[in-house]
């Protein structure tokens, strides 16, 4: 969010979510019985206990992605609300702000992955993660893949399993999407959803500035219902929750309600998805990338309940304002963009080097320490050299002479 009215605990929550995403990917690679909900491939008894119990919430990166979308709905509403009718500058800013880091992250994968092309596949044969780690980017690399993903899948269409537009419609126009498993940076499947979710929030902000409050609320609820069950409903939910986030109610009743919502959110996000929910989610393509098994519906509801609960409990908000978490939150986008190529190459190569010379547990631990330890300084450099300059450039471009945004007073 670019607004000066930053809400510090949102940054901390973003930092927590980034930790969950990274942990999930490392567990899916080296302890897949936990990350992939498959006790049949467990090596240790405790894997079954974590993977099948509420301890899983600590590394529930599936749900963290949905939390990012809710956070975007809130933060973008605050930012867009500064100049709600500046449509062209806002859209250009989002394209630059997301597109430049996305392109750099794809280039990072294009440079790193060919250096150790078989590390992930070879490691997967040992870690029992052939269903996930073993199928990621196992095709021969060509530079046209970088340009195709940067110009098409990365921001504007999404990948074949998590696409914004119908595959048949795209195919008729000669556009054939890359599978997310063959992406140069697989976590980028979320960015097209983030981009179009941003436009949805911008439209809702314009509605709020141009109609009575009751009419906006009614229209937004209608949009929320119509956007179900795609991930876009999470952006709408964040937009609706923005007034509560800015001015949380202080009555004790709402704090008790927050406790109930947090407990309910933990129950949904910490448990293995119910089979009925999995079968329901299977009907909706945009939830297919939520993980194996299909966890989108259950975890998205759980994360939303968690978010509202945290918003209502002052102690939790204060806890998320710790300096470490806020710094991590500022790095979260960069961590999200760079950690995956490092995992598929350097971490897997480290695991292969250690395996056979030490126990499996030590090899997996060593590989994770090396990979995550390298991710942090790379993310710091990425934030300084790519992400922050992209933000600065988006601001400058929005001030060009052919954009003339005027701040519009909000209706009371």
Candidates 274, 297, 263, 280; CA nearest to 62 is 297
Residue 159: its H or E element: strand 158-159
What does the pLDDT read at residue 290? 39
Q: What share of the chain is helix, strand, coil (3-state, %, to 5)?
A: 75, 0, 25
CB 302 within 8 A of CB 262: no
pLDDT digits (tens, 9 = 90+) for 175-225: 999 999 999 999 999 999 999 999 999 999 999 999 998 899 999 999 998
Sort 331 into a burial class: Cβ within 10 Å, 0-12 / 13-18 / 19+.
buried
What does the pLDDT read at residue 24? 93
What does the pLDDT read at residue 296? 66
What does the pLDDT read at residue 297? 75
Determine if the peptide bond prior to 229 is cis (ω within 30°): yes
Rounded to an integer, what distance in angstroms lies between the CA atom of residue 300 and that of residue 37? Answer: 17
Phi-psi region of 17 (alpha: psi -120 to 50; beta: other; left: phi over 0): alpha
Please give the model's pTM, rounded to 2 decimal places.
0.89
Residue 163: its H or E element: strand 162-163
Low-confidence ranges of the chain (pLDDT < 50): 1-4, 285-294, 401, 405-412
Q: Could you give the percent of the chain with pLDDT greater than 70?
A: 88
What does the pLDDT read at residue 5? 52
List Cβ neighbours of 265 (8 Å cut-off, separation of 6 or more).
Answer: 302, 303, 304, 305, 306, 307, 309
pLDDT digits (tens, 9 = 90+) for 336-377: 999 999 999 999 999 999 998 999 999 999 999 999 999 999
What does the pLDDT read at residue 276? 57
Q: Tokens 């491939």 appear where?
A: 41
Rounded to an integer, what distance in angstroms lies between the CA atom of residue 109 and that of residue 141? Answer: 10
Furthest C-alpha separation in the chain: 69
Q: Tokens 């999995």 appear where?
A: 278
Rounded to an integer, what distance in angstroms lies between the CA atom of residue 352 and that of residue 253? Answer: 54
What does the pLDDT read at residue 89? 87
Sort 118 into a burial class: Cβ within 10 Å, 0-12 / 13-18 / 19+.
exposed
């Amino acid at each position: 969010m670019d607004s000066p009215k930053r809400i510090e605990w949102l940054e901390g929550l973003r930092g927590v979510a980034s930790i969950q995403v990274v942990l999930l990917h490392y567990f899916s690679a080296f302890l897949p019985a936990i990350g992939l909900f498959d006790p049949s491939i467990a090596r240790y008894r405790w894997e079954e206990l974590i993977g099948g119990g509420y301890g899983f919430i600590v590394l529930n990166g599936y749900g963290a992605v949905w939390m990012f979308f809710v956070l975007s709905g809130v933060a973008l509403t605050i930012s867009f609300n500064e100049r709600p009718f500046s449509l062209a500058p806002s859209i250009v800013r989002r394209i630059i702000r997301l597109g430049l880091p996305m392109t750099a992250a794809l280039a990072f994968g294009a440079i790193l992955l060919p250096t150790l092309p078989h590390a992930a596949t070879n490691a997967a044969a040992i870690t029992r993660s052939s269903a996930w780690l073993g199928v990621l980017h196992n095709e021969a690399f060509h530079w046209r893949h970088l340009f195709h993903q940067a110009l098409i899948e990365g921001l504007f269409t999404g990948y074949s399993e998590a696409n914004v537009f119908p595959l048949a419609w795209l195919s008729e126009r000669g556009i054939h999407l890359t599978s997310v498993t063959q992406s140069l940076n697989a976590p980028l499947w979320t960015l097209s959803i983030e981009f179009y979710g941003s436009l949805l929030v911008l439209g809702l902000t314009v509605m709020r500035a141009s109609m009575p409050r009751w009419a906006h609320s009614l229209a937004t609820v209608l949009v929320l219902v119509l956007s179900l069950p795609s991930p876009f409903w999470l952006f709408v939910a964040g937009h609706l929750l923005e007034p509560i986030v800015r001015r949380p109610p202080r009555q004790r009743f709402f704090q008790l309600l927050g406790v109930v919502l947090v407990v309910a959110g933990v129950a949904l996000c910490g448990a293995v998805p119910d089979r009925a929910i999995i079968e329901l989610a299977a009907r909706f393509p945009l939830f297919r990338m939520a993980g194996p098994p299909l966890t989108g519906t259950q975890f998205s509801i759980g994360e939303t309940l968690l978010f509202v609960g945290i918003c209502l409990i002052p102690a939790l908000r204060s806890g998320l304002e710790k300096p470490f978490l806020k710094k991590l939150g500022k790095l979260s986008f960069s961590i999200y963009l760079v950690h995956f190529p490092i995992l598929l190459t350097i971490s897997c190569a480290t695991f292969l080097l250690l395996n056979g010379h030490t126990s499996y547990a030590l090899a997996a631990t060593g590989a994770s320490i090396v990979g995550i330890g390298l991710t942090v300084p790379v993310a710091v450099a990425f934030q300084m050299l790519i992400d922050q300059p992209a933000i600065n450039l988006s601001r400058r471009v929005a001030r060009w002479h052919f954009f003339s945004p005027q701040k519009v007073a909000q209706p009371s």
